[in-house]
A and B are shown apart, each in its own frame.
Chain A
Amino acid sequence: MSPPGWGGNLLRGLFNSVLIAAGAYSIGIMVGIAGAFGKLYGGPVLRDLLELYTTIVRAVPELVLILLLYFAGTDLINRLLEAFGYQRIDINGLVAGICVLGIVQGAYSTEVIRGAILAIPQGQIEAARAYGMSPGLLLRRITLPAMLPFAIPGLANLWLIATKDTALLAIVGFNELTQETRTAASTTKAYFTFFLVAGALYLLLTLFSNVIIARVEKWARRGMHVESH
Protein backbone atom coordinates (compact mmCIF):
# COMPACT_ATOMS: atom_id res chain seq x y z
CA MET A 1 0.00 0.00 0.00
CA SER A 2 1.29 3.47 -0.85
CA PRO A 3 1.42 6.34 1.67
CA PRO A 4 -0.51 7.36 3.65
CA GLY A 5 -1.53 3.69 3.52
CA TRP A 6 -3.20 2.25 6.62
CA GLY A 7 -2.53 5.48 8.46
CA GLY A 8 -4.96 7.19 6.10
CA ASN A 9 -7.57 4.54 6.89
CA LEU A 10 -7.12 5.16 10.60
CA LEU A 11 -7.53 8.91 10.16
CA ARG A 12 -10.66 8.31 8.08
CA GLY A 13 -11.92 6.10 10.89
CA LEU A 14 -11.15 8.83 13.43
CA PHE A 15 -13.04 11.34 11.29
CA ASN A 16 -16.06 9.00 11.16
CA SER A 17 -15.89 8.50 14.92
CA VAL A 18 -15.86 12.24 15.56
CA LEU A 19 -18.73 12.69 13.12
CA ILE A 20 -20.85 10.08 14.89
CA ALA A 21 -19.95 11.38 18.32
CA ALA A 22 -20.80 14.96 17.37
CA GLY A 23 -24.08 13.95 15.74
CA ALA A 24 -25.09 11.66 18.60
CA TYR A 25 -24.11 14.27 21.17
CA SER A 26 -26.16 16.98 19.44
CA ILE A 27 -29.20 14.74 19.24
CA GLY A 28 -28.59 13.71 22.83
CA ILE A 29 -28.58 17.31 24.07
CA MET A 30 -31.77 18.16 22.19
CA VAL A 31 -33.47 15.03 23.52
CA GLY A 32 -32.04 15.88 26.94
CA ILE A 33 -33.45 19.42 27.00
CA ALA A 34 -36.86 18.20 25.85
CA GLY A 35 -36.73 15.24 28.24
CA ALA A 36 -35.70 17.38 31.21
CA PHE A 37 -38.51 19.86 30.62
CA GLY A 38 -40.96 17.02 30.09
CA LYS A 39 -39.91 15.40 33.36
CA LEU A 40 -40.04 18.67 35.29
CA TYR A 41 -43.10 20.36 33.85
CA GLY A 42 -44.94 17.70 31.81
CA GLY A 43 -48.16 15.90 32.63
CA PRO A 44 -48.18 12.59 34.51
CA VAL A 45 -48.33 10.43 31.35
CA LEU A 46 -45.38 12.21 29.72
CA ARG A 47 -43.41 12.01 32.94
CA ASP A 48 -44.00 8.27 33.22
CA LEU A 49 -43.00 7.68 29.61
CA LEU A 50 -39.79 9.67 30.05
CA GLU A 51 -39.02 7.80 33.27
CA LEU A 52 -39.44 4.54 31.36
CA TYR A 53 -37.09 5.80 28.62
CA THR A 54 -34.32 6.97 30.92
CA THR A 55 -34.58 3.91 33.16
CA ILE A 56 -34.46 1.35 30.35
CA VAL A 57 -31.72 3.05 28.35
CA ARG A 58 -29.56 3.53 31.41
CA ALA A 59 -30.18 -0.01 32.66
CA VAL A 60 -29.35 -1.98 29.50
CA PRO A 61 -25.69 -2.28 28.41
CA GLU A 62 -24.96 0.02 25.50
CA LEU A 63 -23.63 -2.81 23.38
CA VAL A 64 -26.93 -4.64 23.76
CA LEU A 65 -28.85 -1.46 22.98
CA ILE A 66 -26.80 -0.88 19.86
CA LEU A 67 -27.36 -4.41 18.60
CA LEU A 68 -31.01 -4.20 19.51
CA LEU A 69 -31.70 -0.80 17.98
CA TYR A 70 -29.46 -1.32 14.97
CA PHE A 71 -30.63 -4.75 13.86
CA ALA A 72 -34.09 -4.85 15.37
CA GLY A 73 -34.64 -1.17 14.53
CA THR A 74 -33.73 -1.47 10.87
CA ASP A 75 -35.66 -4.72 10.61
CA LEU A 76 -38.71 -3.06 12.16
CA ILE A 77 -38.53 -0.10 9.79
CA ASN A 78 -38.25 -2.41 6.78
CA ARG A 79 -41.13 -4.59 7.96
CA LEU A 80 -43.28 -1.51 8.39
CA LEU A 81 -42.28 -0.30 4.94
CA GLU A 82 -43.17 -3.68 3.44
CA ALA A 83 -46.45 -3.83 5.33
CA PHE A 84 -47.46 -0.53 3.76
CA GLY A 85 -46.32 -1.71 0.34
CA TYR A 86 -43.03 0.14 0.04
CA GLN A 87 -39.59 -1.19 -0.97
CA ARG A 88 -37.11 -2.24 1.68
CA ILE A 89 -34.41 0.38 2.20
CA ASP A 90 -30.75 0.13 3.09
CA ILE A 91 -30.26 2.13 6.22
CA ASN A 92 -27.08 4.19 6.13
CA GLY A 93 -24.67 2.98 8.84
CA LEU A 94 -23.64 6.51 9.75
CA VAL A 95 -27.22 7.71 10.24
CA ALA A 96 -28.17 4.59 12.18
CA GLY A 97 -25.07 4.93 14.38
CA ILE A 98 -25.80 8.57 15.14
CA CYS A 99 -29.44 7.83 15.97
CA VAL A 100 -28.69 4.83 18.19
CA LEU A 101 -25.99 6.62 20.19
CA GLY A 102 -28.17 9.77 20.22
CA ILE A 103 -30.95 7.85 21.96
CA VAL A 104 -28.45 6.54 24.54
CA GLN A 105 -26.94 10.01 25.07
CA GLY A 106 -30.40 11.56 25.33
CA ALA A 107 -31.28 9.45 28.35
CA TYR A 108 -28.17 10.53 30.25
CA SER A 109 -28.49 14.16 29.09
CA THR A 110 -32.07 14.26 30.34
CA GLU A 111 -30.90 13.52 33.87
CA VAL A 112 -27.90 15.88 33.70
CA ILE A 113 -30.02 18.78 32.42
CA ARG A 114 -32.90 18.06 34.79
CA GLY A 115 -30.51 18.24 37.72
CA ALA A 116 -28.95 21.46 36.39
CA ILE A 117 -32.34 23.15 36.00
CA LEU A 118 -33.22 22.20 39.57
CA ALA A 119 -29.96 23.80 40.72
CA ILE A 120 -30.91 27.25 39.34
CA PRO A 121 -31.94 29.52 42.22
CA GLN A 122 -35.74 29.59 41.88
CA GLY A 123 -35.84 33.33 42.50
CA GLN A 124 -34.24 33.96 39.11
CA ILE A 125 -37.00 32.04 37.33
CA GLU A 126 -39.56 33.86 39.45
CA ALA A 127 -38.08 37.25 38.58
CA ALA A 128 -38.35 36.41 34.88
CA ARG A 129 -42.02 35.50 35.34
CA ALA A 130 -42.63 38.63 37.41
CA TYR A 131 -41.38 40.77 34.53
CA GLY A 132 -43.74 39.22 32.01
CA MET A 133 -41.46 36.81 30.16
CA SER A 134 -43.34 34.23 28.11
CA PRO A 135 -42.43 30.56 28.69
CA GLY A 136 -40.39 30.43 25.46
CA LEU A 137 -38.45 33.60 26.26
CA LEU A 138 -37.84 32.43 29.82
CA LEU A 139 -36.41 29.14 28.50
CA ARG A 140 -34.13 30.86 25.98
CA ARG A 141 -32.97 33.85 28.00
CA ILE A 142 -32.94 32.56 31.58
CA THR A 143 -33.35 28.82 32.16
CA LEU A 144 -30.92 27.47 29.55
CA PRO A 145 -28.04 29.89 30.18
CA ALA A 146 -28.57 29.80 33.95
CA MET A 147 -28.50 25.99 34.11
CA LEU A 148 -25.38 25.72 31.91
CA PRO A 149 -22.74 26.13 34.64
CA PHE A 150 -24.40 23.30 36.58
CA ALA A 151 -24.73 21.09 33.49
CA ILE A 152 -21.26 21.55 31.95
CA PRO A 153 -19.38 18.96 34.06
CA GLY A 154 -22.00 16.30 33.34
CA LEU A 155 -22.34 17.23 29.69
CA ALA A 156 -18.55 17.24 29.27
CA ASN A 157 -18.44 13.69 30.61
CA LEU A 158 -21.14 12.71 28.15
CA TRP A 159 -19.12 14.09 25.24
CA LEU A 160 -16.08 12.04 26.24
CA ILE A 161 -18.26 8.98 26.63
CA ALA A 162 -19.79 9.67 23.20
CA THR A 163 -16.38 9.72 21.53
CA LYS A 164 -15.54 6.33 22.98
CA ASP A 165 -18.99 4.78 22.53
CA THR A 166 -18.46 5.14 18.80
CA ALA A 167 -16.10 2.16 19.13
CA LEU A 168 -19.14 0.04 19.95
CA LEU A 169 -20.37 0.60 16.42
CA ALA A 170 -17.52 -1.64 15.22
CA ILE A 171 -19.78 -4.53 16.17
CA VAL A 172 -22.25 -3.59 13.46
CA GLY A 173 -19.42 -3.23 10.93
CA PHE A 174 -19.34 0.53 10.69
CA ASN A 175 -15.94 1.88 9.63
CA GLU A 176 -15.14 4.06 12.57
CA LEU A 177 -11.70 4.17 14.20
CA THR A 178 -11.83 0.85 16.05
CA GLN A 179 -13.16 -1.07 13.05
CA GLU A 180 -10.54 0.49 10.73
CA THR A 181 -7.86 -0.41 13.24
CA ARG A 182 -9.08 -3.98 13.42
CA THR A 183 -9.01 -4.29 9.64
CA ALA A 184 -5.55 -2.77 9.40
CA ALA A 185 -4.18 -4.89 12.24
CA SER A 186 -5.59 -8.20 11.04
CA THR A 187 -4.46 -7.58 7.46
CA THR A 188 -0.90 -6.61 8.37
CA LYS A 189 -0.69 -8.68 11.57
CA ALA A 190 0.86 -5.57 13.21
CA TYR A 191 -1.67 -5.62 16.04
CA PHE A 192 0.48 -3.85 18.57
CA THR A 193 1.35 -0.94 16.28
CA PHE A 194 -2.14 -0.23 15.07
CA PHE A 195 -3.96 -0.56 18.38
CA LEU A 196 -1.30 1.60 20.02
CA VAL A 197 -1.89 4.26 17.36
CA ALA A 198 -5.66 3.97 17.76
CA GLY A 199 -5.30 4.38 21.52
CA ALA A 200 -3.14 7.45 20.98
CA LEU A 201 -5.74 8.92 18.62
CA TYR A 202 -8.50 8.46 21.21
CA LEU A 203 -6.25 10.06 23.80
CA LEU A 204 -5.52 13.04 21.54
CA LEU A 205 -9.21 13.47 20.87
CA THR A 206 -9.88 13.54 24.62
CA LEU A 207 -7.05 15.97 25.34
CA PHE A 208 -8.23 18.30 22.58
CA SER A 209 -11.80 18.03 23.90
CA ASN A 210 -10.63 18.92 27.39
CA VAL A 211 -9.11 22.17 26.13
CA ILE A 212 -12.39 23.14 24.45
CA ILE A 213 -14.47 22.04 27.46
CA ALA A 214 -12.34 24.11 29.82
CA ARG A 215 -13.00 27.20 27.70
CA VAL A 216 -16.71 26.57 27.47
CA GLU A 217 -16.90 25.98 31.21
CA LYS A 218 -15.04 29.19 31.96
CA TRP A 219 -17.49 31.08 29.78
CA ALA A 220 -20.53 29.37 31.27
CA ARG A 221 -19.36 30.12 34.80
CA ARG A 222 -18.61 33.78 34.08
CA GLY A 223 -21.23 34.92 36.59
CA MET A 224 -20.26 32.45 39.32
CA HIS A 225 -18.25 33.52 42.32
CA VAL A 226 -16.22 30.37 42.84
CA GLU A 227 -13.77 29.45 40.10
CA SER A 228 -13.95 25.83 39.04
CA HIS A 229 -10.18 25.44 38.94
Chain B
Amino acid sequence: MKYAPEAAAEAIHIENLHKKFGELHVLKGVSLSARDGDVVAIIGGSGSGKSTLLRCINCLENPTSGLIRVNGEEIKLKADSHGHTVPADRRQIERIRSRLGMVFQSFNLWSHMTLIENVIEVPIHVLGVQRDEAVANAERLLARVGLSEKRDVYPAFLSGGQQQRGAIARALAIEPRVMLFDEPTSALDPELVGEVLKVIGDLAQEGRTMILVTHEMKFARKVATHVVYLYNGLVEEEGPPEAIFGAPRSDRLKKFLHNVH
Protein backbone atom coordinates (compact mmCIF):
# COMPACT_ATOMS: atom_id res chain seq x y z
CA MET B 1 0.00 0.00 0.00
CA LYS B 2 3.03 2.23 0.21
CA TYR B 3 2.92 3.53 -3.34
CA ALA B 4 -0.41 4.67 -4.63
CA PRO B 5 -1.21 3.51 -8.13
CA GLU B 6 -0.87 6.15 -10.84
CA ALA B 7 -4.59 6.09 -11.41
CA ALA B 8 -5.44 7.24 -7.86
CA ALA B 9 -7.48 10.42 -7.77
CA GLU B 10 -5.93 13.72 -6.77
CA ALA B 11 -6.61 14.52 -3.11
CA ILE B 12 -4.73 17.78 -2.59
CA HIS B 13 -3.29 20.05 -5.24
CA ILE B 14 -1.47 23.26 -4.42
CA GLU B 15 -0.05 25.53 -7.05
CA ASN B 16 2.25 28.53 -6.65
CA LEU B 17 1.09 29.31 -3.12
CA HIS B 18 2.20 32.57 -1.55
CA LYS B 19 1.59 33.69 2.01
CA LYS B 20 2.59 37.00 3.49
CA PHE B 21 2.10 38.09 7.09
CA GLY B 22 2.41 41.83 6.58
CA GLU B 23 5.96 42.30 5.33
CA LEU B 24 6.97 38.76 6.16
CA HIS B 25 6.93 36.54 3.08
CA VAL B 26 6.48 33.03 4.53
CA LEU B 27 5.56 31.02 1.44
CA LYS B 28 7.09 32.13 -1.84
CA GLY B 29 5.39 30.00 -4.44
CA VAL B 30 4.98 26.45 -3.20
CA SER B 31 3.40 23.69 -5.28
CA LEU B 32 2.47 20.31 -3.87
CA SER B 33 0.29 17.39 -4.92
CA ALA B 34 -1.06 14.34 -3.12
CA ARG B 35 -3.11 11.56 -4.64
CA ASP B 36 -5.41 9.26 -2.70
CA GLY B 37 -3.30 6.95 -0.53
CA ASP B 38 -0.25 9.20 -0.54
CA VAL B 39 1.52 10.04 2.69
CA VAL B 40 3.31 13.33 2.11
CA ALA B 41 5.77 14.35 4.79
CA ILE B 42 6.73 18.02 4.91
CA ILE B 43 10.04 18.65 6.64
CA GLY B 44 12.13 21.74 7.16
CA GLY B 45 13.66 23.97 9.79
CA SER B 46 11.69 26.34 11.97
CA GLY B 47 10.45 29.31 9.97
CA SER B 48 10.60 27.34 6.72
CA GLY B 49 6.83 27.74 6.34
CA LYS B 50 5.86 24.09 6.70
CA SER B 51 3.10 24.62 9.26
CA THR B 52 1.79 27.62 7.36
CA LEU B 53 1.62 25.52 4.20
CA LEU B 54 -0.42 22.86 5.98
CA ARG B 55 -2.72 25.45 7.55
CA CYS B 56 -3.38 27.02 4.15
CA ILE B 57 -4.88 23.75 2.89
CA ASN B 58 -8.00 24.21 5.02
CA CYS B 59 -7.72 28.01 5.07
CA LEU B 60 -6.89 28.30 8.76
CA GLU B 61 -4.40 30.69 7.20
CA ASN B 62 -5.66 32.42 4.10
CA PRO B 63 -3.11 32.23 1.30
CA THR B 64 -2.08 35.56 -0.20
CA SER B 65 -2.25 34.08 -3.68
CA GLY B 66 -2.17 30.73 -5.39
CA LEU B 67 -4.47 27.83 -6.08
CA ILE B 68 -5.67 25.09 -3.74
CA ARG B 69 -7.77 22.13 -4.87
CA VAL B 70 -9.16 19.59 -2.40
CA ASN B 71 -10.55 16.44 -3.98
CA GLY B 72 -10.68 18.22 -7.30
CA GLU B 73 -12.62 21.20 -5.95
CA GLU B 74 -10.88 24.55 -6.11
CA ILE B 75 -11.22 26.72 -2.99
CA LYS B 76 -12.78 29.97 -4.11
CA LEU B 77 -10.88 32.96 -2.79
CA LYS B 78 -11.59 36.67 -2.96
CA ALA B 79 -10.10 39.92 -1.66
CA ASP B 80 -11.90 41.48 1.32
CA SER B 81 -12.25 45.23 1.98
CA HIS B 82 -8.75 45.37 3.49
CA GLY B 83 -7.23 43.67 0.47
CA HIS B 84 -6.66 40.37 2.33
CA THR B 85 -7.45 37.14 0.53
CA VAL B 86 -10.31 35.28 2.22
CA PRO B 87 -12.54 32.35 1.24
CA ALA B 88 -15.23 33.65 -1.12
CA ASP B 89 -17.85 31.12 -0.12
CA ARG B 90 -18.15 30.37 3.59
CA ARG B 91 -20.28 27.28 3.00
CA GLN B 92 -17.80 25.87 0.52
CA ILE B 93 -14.88 26.23 2.91
CA GLU B 94 -16.92 24.78 5.79
CA ARG B 95 -17.88 21.79 3.64
CA ILE B 96 -14.27 21.20 2.57
CA ARG B 97 -13.00 21.58 6.14
CA SER B 98 -15.53 19.06 7.42
CA ARG B 99 -13.78 16.34 5.39
CA LEU B 100 -10.21 17.26 6.34
CA GLY B 101 -9.14 15.70 9.62
CA MET B 102 -6.77 18.15 11.25
CA VAL B 103 -4.52 17.09 14.13
CA PHE B 104 -2.78 19.94 15.94
CA GLN B 105 0.52 20.21 17.73
CA SER B 106 -1.24 21.15 20.99
CA PHE B 107 -4.15 18.70 20.57
CA ASN B 108 -6.86 21.37 20.93
CA LEU B 109 -9.50 19.05 22.30
CA TRP B 110 -12.53 20.97 23.56
CA SER B 111 -12.03 21.25 27.30
CA HIS B 112 -15.70 21.39 28.28
CA MET B 113 -16.47 18.04 26.62
CA THR B 114 -15.50 14.52 27.63
CA LEU B 115 -13.37 12.53 25.23
CA ILE B 116 -16.29 10.81 23.57
CA GLU B 117 -18.21 14.09 23.35
CA ASN B 118 -15.21 15.53 21.52
CA VAL B 119 -15.28 12.65 19.05
CA ILE B 120 -19.02 12.80 18.31
CA GLU B 121 -19.27 16.60 18.20
CA VAL B 122 -18.48 17.22 14.55
CA PRO B 123 -20.25 14.13 13.14
CA ILE B 124 -23.48 15.12 14.93
CA HIS B 125 -23.45 18.90 14.65
CA VAL B 126 -21.62 19.51 11.39
CA LEU B 127 -22.18 16.35 9.37
CA GLY B 128 -25.68 15.53 10.66
CA VAL B 129 -24.96 11.93 11.71
CA GLN B 130 -27.51 10.31 14.07
CA ARG B 131 -26.37 10.32 17.68
CA ASP B 132 -26.46 6.51 18.18
CA GLU B 133 -24.46 5.96 15.06
CA ALA B 134 -21.93 8.65 16.01
CA VAL B 135 -21.50 7.20 19.50
CA ALA B 136 -21.04 3.65 18.18
CA ASN B 137 -18.47 4.88 15.68
CA ALA B 138 -16.68 6.95 18.34
CA GLU B 139 -16.48 3.95 20.67
CA ARG B 140 -14.90 1.90 17.90
CA LEU B 141 -12.37 4.68 17.17
CA LEU B 142 -11.50 5.16 20.84
CA ALA B 143 -10.93 1.43 21.14
CA ARG B 144 -8.68 1.63 18.12
CA VAL B 145 -6.47 4.33 19.65
CA GLY B 146 -6.52 2.48 22.98
CA LEU B 147 -8.69 4.92 24.94
CA SER B 148 -11.92 2.99 25.57
CA GLU B 149 -11.65 3.38 29.34
CA LYS B 150 -11.14 7.12 29.03
CA ARG B 151 -14.30 7.82 27.05
CA ASP B 152 -15.98 9.85 29.82
CA VAL B 153 -12.87 11.69 30.99
CA TYR B 154 -12.30 15.39 30.31
CA PRO B 155 -9.17 16.23 28.28
CA ALA B 156 -7.47 18.07 31.16
CA PHE B 157 -7.28 14.77 33.05
CA LEU B 158 -5.46 12.92 30.24
CA SER B 159 -1.76 12.78 29.43
CA GLY B 160 -0.50 14.56 26.33
CA GLY B 161 -0.17 11.29 24.46
CA GLN B 162 -3.71 10.30 25.38
CA GLN B 163 -5.03 13.71 24.35
CA GLN B 164 -3.29 13.46 20.99
CA ARG B 165 -4.60 9.94 20.37
CA GLY B 166 -8.06 11.26 21.30
CA ALA B 167 -7.57 14.11 18.84
CA ILE B 168 -6.70 11.57 16.15
CA ALA B 169 -9.93 9.69 16.96
CA ARG B 170 -11.80 13.00 16.63
CA ALA B 171 -10.22 13.50 13.20
CA LEU B 172 -11.04 9.94 12.10
CA ALA B 173 -14.67 10.33 13.22
CA ILE B 174 -15.42 12.66 10.31
CA GLU B 175 -14.29 9.98 7.85
CA PRO B 176 -11.74 12.38 6.42
CA ARG B 177 -10.66 12.28 2.81
CA VAL B 178 -7.29 13.61 3.94
CA MET B 179 -5.66 13.74 7.36
CA LEU B 180 -3.59 16.83 8.13
CA PHE B 181 -1.01 16.48 10.89
CA ASP B 182 0.65 19.65 12.18
CA GLU B 183 3.72 18.51 14.14
CA PRO B 184 1.61 16.02 16.11
CA THR B 185 4.38 14.94 18.50
CA SER B 186 6.26 18.22 19.05
CA ALA B 187 4.41 19.12 22.25
CA LEU B 188 4.77 15.67 23.81
CA ASP B 189 7.16 14.43 26.44
CA PRO B 190 9.70 12.13 24.75
CA GLU B 191 8.32 8.98 26.36
CA LEU B 192 4.85 9.69 24.95
CA VAL B 193 5.94 10.23 21.33
CA GLY B 194 6.03 6.52 20.50
CA GLU B 195 2.39 5.77 21.28
CA VAL B 196 1.20 8.60 19.03
CA LEU B 197 3.56 7.72 16.17
CA LYS B 198 2.33 4.13 16.35
CA VAL B 199 -1.26 5.24 15.78
CA ILE B 200 -0.24 7.52 12.89
CA GLY B 201 1.93 4.77 11.40
CA ASP B 202 -0.99 2.33 11.47
CA LEU B 203 -3.14 4.86 9.61
CA ALA B 204 -0.45 5.25 6.96
CA GLN B 205 -0.25 1.46 6.65
CA GLU B 206 -3.92 1.16 5.82
CA GLY B 207 -3.54 3.57 2.94
CA ARG B 208 -5.00 6.76 4.37
CA THR B 209 -4.17 9.96 2.56
CA MET B 210 -2.11 12.12 4.87
CA ILE B 211 -0.12 15.32 4.85
CA LEU B 212 2.26 15.29 7.76
CA VAL B 213 4.39 18.13 9.03
CA THR B 214 6.97 16.58 11.29
CA HIS B 215 10.36 16.74 12.95
CA GLU B 216 10.51 12.97 13.32
CA MET B 217 12.82 12.11 10.43
CA LYS B 218 13.03 8.37 11.06
CA PHE B 219 9.26 8.21 11.19
CA ALA B 220 8.88 10.27 8.00
CA ARG B 221 11.31 7.96 6.23
CA LYS B 222 9.32 4.92 7.36
CA VAL B 223 5.76 6.02 6.56
CA ALA B 224 5.98 8.65 3.82
CA THR B 225 5.48 7.94 0.14
CA HIS B 226 6.77 11.39 -0.74
CA VAL B 227 8.89 13.87 1.19
CA VAL B 228 9.00 17.62 0.67
CA TYR B 229 11.84 19.67 2.13
CA LEU B 230 10.93 23.31 2.57
CA TYR B 231 13.56 25.97 2.97
CA ASN B 232 12.73 29.62 3.50
CA GLY B 233 9.27 29.38 1.93
CA LEU B 234 10.24 27.36 -1.11
CA VAL B 235 10.43 23.66 -1.96
CA GLU B 236 14.18 23.07 -1.90
CA GLU B 237 14.00 19.38 -2.70
CA GLU B 238 11.36 16.67 -2.92
CA GLY B 239 11.13 13.02 -3.79
CA PRO B 240 10.66 9.53 -2.41
CA PRO B 241 11.96 9.06 1.15
CA GLU B 242 14.85 6.85 0.03
CA ALA B 243 16.18 9.65 -2.17
CA ILE B 244 15.55 12.49 0.27
CA PHE B 245 17.07 10.76 3.29
CA GLY B 246 19.43 8.37 1.48
CA ALA B 247 20.84 10.58 -1.25
CA PRO B 248 20.02 14.25 -0.65
CA ARG B 249 21.22 16.50 -3.46
CA SER B 250 20.99 20.04 -2.11
CA ASP B 251 23.54 21.24 0.41
CA ARG B 252 20.86 22.80 2.57
CA LEU B 253 18.99 19.51 2.88
CA LYS B 254 22.27 17.68 3.65
CA LYS B 255 23.02 20.21 6.36
CA PHE B 256 19.47 20.04 7.74
CA LEU B 257 19.51 16.25 7.92
CA HIS B 258 22.94 16.32 9.50
CA ASN B 259 21.73 18.73 12.17
CA VAL B 260 18.53 16.91 13.11
CA HIS B 261 20.06 13.45 13.25
- Give, as a whole number of angstroms, the nearest-CB distance from A188 to chain B: 53
Give every chain A residue within 8 A of B122 (Cβ-Cβ).
Answer: 131-133
| Residues A121 and B94 in contact, CB atoms below 8 Å apart | no
Contact with A along B76-113 (1 / 0, CB 8 A): 00000000000000100111111110101011111111
Known: A124-B111, A145-B112. A224 touches B90 (CB 8 A): no
Q: Name A's interface SS.
A: helix
**Max chain B Cβ within 10 angstroms of own Cβ: one of A126, A127, A129, A148:** A127
Please state if A130 and B111 are interface contacts (CB–CB under 8 Å): no
- Among residues of A, the one whose C-beta sits closest to the C-beta of B100 is A130
Asked whether B58 is an interface residue with its Cβ less than 8 Å from the other chain, the reply is yes
Interface check B157, CB cutoff 8 A: yes
Q: Mark A128-164, 1 if CB is under 8 A from B, else 0.
A: 1111111001000110011011000000000000000
User: What chain B residues lie within 8 Å of A225 (beta carbons)?
Assistant: 156-157
Q: Are B60 and A131 in contact (CB under 8 A)?
A: no
A123 on interface, CB distance cutoff 8 Å: yes
Q: Which one of A133, A134, A148, A223 has the highest number of Cβ atoms from chain B below 10 Å of its Cβ?
A: A223
Judging by beta carbons under 8 Å apart, are A123 and B108 in contact? yes
In the bound complex, what is the Cα–Cα distance between A129 and B55 (angstroms)? 12
Q: Which of B98, B111, B155, B157 contacts A132 (CB 8 A)?
A: B98
A222 interfacial by beta-carbon distance below 8 Å: yes
**Neighbour of B126 across the interface among A126, A133, A145, A222, CB < 8 A:** A133
B interface size (C-beta, 8 A): 31
Q: Which of A127, A137, A141, A222 is in CB contact (< 8 Å) with B104?
A: A127
**Residues of A contacting B90 with CB < 8 Å?**
134
Cβ–Cβ contact B95 & A132, under 8 A:
yes
Q: Contact between B102 and A222 (Cβ–Cβ < 8 Å)? A: no
Question: Complex: how many Å from CA A126 to CA B102?
Answer: 10
Contact with A along B142-159 (1 / 0, CB 8 A): 000000000000111100
Chain B's interface: helix, strand, loop or mixed, by majority?
loop
Decide: A142 and B110 in contact? CB cutoff 8 A.
yes
| Contact indicator B155/A223 (Cβ below 8 Å) | yes
Cβ of B104: which chain A residues have Cβ within 8 Å of it?
123, 126-127, 130
Q: Which of B104-144 contact A (CB under 8 A)?
A: 104, 106-114, 121-122, 125-126
Q: Mark A104-126, 1 if CB is under 8 A from B, else 0.
A: 00000000000000000101101
Chain B residues with CB under 8 A of A146: 110-112
* B30 on the A face (CB < 8 A): no
Q: Provide the bound-state CA to CA distance between A145 and B113, in Å.
A: 9
With A133-B125, A134-B90 already in contact, the answer to whether A127 and B112 are too (CB < 8 A) is: no
When the two chains form their complex, are residues B111 and A223 in contact, meaning their CB atoms are under 8 A apart? yes
Other-chain residue from A124, A133, A141, A223 in contact with B94 (beta carbon distance below 8 A) = A133
Chain B residues near A121 (CB, 8 Å)? Answer: 108, 111
Instruction: Give the Cβ gap from B79 to chain A, nearest Cβ, in Å.
Output: 17
- Residue ID in chain B nearest A224 by CB atoms: B156
6 cross-chain pairs, A with B, having the tightest CB-CB distances, nearest first: A132-B98, A123-B108, A132-B97, A127-B108, A223-B154, A225-B156
A-B contact pairs, 21 of them (CB 8 A): A123-B104, A124-B109, A126-B104, A126-B108, A127-B104, A127-B109, A128-B110, A129-B97, A131-B102, A131-B121, A131-B122, A132-B94, A132-B99, A132-B122, A132-B126, A134-B94, A137-B125, A141-B125, A146-B110, A149-B112, A225-B156
- Which B residues contact A (CB, under 8 angstroms)? 58, 60, 90, 93-100, 102, 104, 106-114, 121-122, 125-126, 154-157, 174
Beyond known contacts A131-B102, A133-B126, A224-B154: 13 more, CB 8 A cutoff:
A121-B111, A123-B104, A123-B108, A130-B102, A130-B104, A131-B98, A131-B122, A132-B93, A133-B94, A142-B110, A148-B112, A224-B156, A225-B156
